[in-house]
Amino acid sequence: METKELIVERKGAVAVLTLNRPEVLNALSDSLVEAVVSEMERLDKEEGVRAVVLTGGSKVFAAGADIKGMADATSQEMQKSDRLAKWERMRKISKPIVAAVSGFALGGGCEMAMSCDMIVASENAVFGQPEILIGVIPGAGGTQRLTRAIGKYRAMEFVLSGRRFSAQQALEWGLVNHVVPNELVVEEAVSLAEEIASRPPIAVRLAKEAVNWAVDVELGEGLVKERQHFYKLFDTEDQKEGMKAFLEKRKPVFKGK
Ligand code: CAA
């Protein structure tokens, strides 16, 4: 669902989605979030696509949910429309998503990056949950995902004060995977996505699900579920090919079957 606000490109097996509202620093309007989520849902079903990169380009990732679109809303209207519920659909995407973050990733921007599976940040990336400064709190996962990613005490500081933190801090605390020069951020994210896209896709899907269990379920349950996924993969042609190729000392050819 390419719109003016969302540019969709293909680089081989990788789809690149670019937020495109530069005049408002990619503020995430309802329609932009809907475009992102529904495009990801569509790509999740498209066979040729094996990984997705989400970016705001080289200047800004996103400065948050669109404040203009909600400034005058009442609590009743917000609850009735439950506009942030659509963000949760990103959790159901089974293909890996890499965020390429440059510049501001604030509020909903930080939350959208954290809704991805991996984050490549540029040296000038700035993260934060500044909602407290405008009288609210994060509403699209910020209190939950930031806390899980960087720990309770750090998250408490940033969510309650509205302070920002740098790409380097995010790297030290485990929120981002890599920090790279600004001009390379999309390239690096695509390169990571391409590498993952070359792996057997059923195993990649099950691996993503299993890693998420480490965050979402109790350890004993996670271990049982992981083991079941491991056994399940012995029904795939790619497992047979992968192990056979190893034994024959050649490169495997994965078919996604
Ligand atoms: N919503 C709507 N418009 C926004 C916006 C947002 N979140 N962020 C920036 N803009 C607009 C500005 O209004 C401005 O538009 P005009 O030129 O028409 O005035 C334009 O983008 C450029 O912004 P600035 O002039 O403010 O740029 P700056 O470089 O001086 O500052 C900034 C950049 C620090 C990011 C600043 O724009 C800012 O603080 N933005 C708001 C950040 C924020 O509070 N985000 C949280 C939103 S609430 C949320 O996300 C809830 C949730 O959990 C889902």
Q: Which two tokens stand for residue 149?
A: 């990613």
Q: Is 65 tagged catalytic?
A: yes
- Alpha-carbon span 132 to 124, nearest angstrom: 23
Q: Which atom of ligand 1 is nearest to the CA of 138?
A: 53
193's tokens: 């996505």
CATH number at residue 95: 3.90.226.10
Q: Whose CA is nearest to atom 18 of ligand 1?
A: 24
Question: 54 CB less than 6 Å from ligand 1?
Answer: no
Which residue matches tokens 């991996």? 118
Token pair 């057997």 is found at 200
Average pLDDT over all residues of the chain: 97
227 in a structural domain? no
CA distance 196 to 177: 14
Atom 40, ligand 1: residue with shortest CA distance: 63
Nearest CA to ligand 1 atom 29: 25
Q: What is the helix, strand, coil percentage profile of the chain, to 5?
A: 50, 15, 30
Residues with Cβ within 8 Å of 7's Cβ and at least 6 positions away in sequence, in order, are 17, 18, 20
Domain-embedded: residue 146: yes
Domain of 57, in residue numbers: 6-202
| Residue range 143-157: mean pLDDT, rounded | 98
Residues belonging to the chain: 257
90 CA from centroid of ligand 1 (Å): 23
Which two three-digit tokens encode residue 243? 């192990």
Active site residue 131: yes
Does the annotation count 108 as an active-site position?
yes
Asked whether residue 255 is domain-assigned, the answer is no
pLDDT in tens, 171-194: 999 999 999 999 999 999 999 999
In a domain, 223, yes or no: no
Q: Over 90: is that where the pLDDT of 230 sits?
A: yes
- Ligand 1 center from residue 64 Cα (angstroms): 7
CA nearest ligand 1 atom 11, residue: 24
pLDDT tens by residue, 76-90: 999 999 999 999 999
Residue 232 lies in a domain: no
For residue 3, what pLDDT is reported?
72
The reply to whether 5 belongs to the active site is: no
In a domain, 66, yes or no: yes
Here the tokens at position 169 are 């801090």
Q: What is the pLDDT of residue 2?
A: 65
Ligand 1 mean position to 66 CA, how many Å?
8
Domain count, the chain: 1
Closest listed residue to residue 117, CA positions, set 96, 137, 101, 138: 96
Tokens 């500044």 found at: 130
Percent of the chain with pLDDT over 90: 98
Which tens digit of pLDDT belongs to each residue from 94-147? Answer: 999 999 999 999 999 999 999 999 999 999 999 999 999 999 999 999 999 999
Distance 115 CA to ligand 1 centre (A): 20
Mutation probe of ligand 1 site: the residue of 19, 24, 129 with most atoms within 8 A of C-beta: 24
**What's the mean pLDDT in 60-83?**
94
Q: Is 218 within the bounds of a domain? A: no
If pLDDT is split at 50, 70 and 90, which confidence band does 207 have? very high
In this structure, the residue with its CA closest to atom 12 of ligand 1 is: 24
Q: How many CA atoms lie within 13 A of 6 on its CB side?
A: 22
Residue 115 domain flag: yes
Mean of pLDDT values over 66-74: 94
Helix H or strand E encompassing 196: helix 185-197
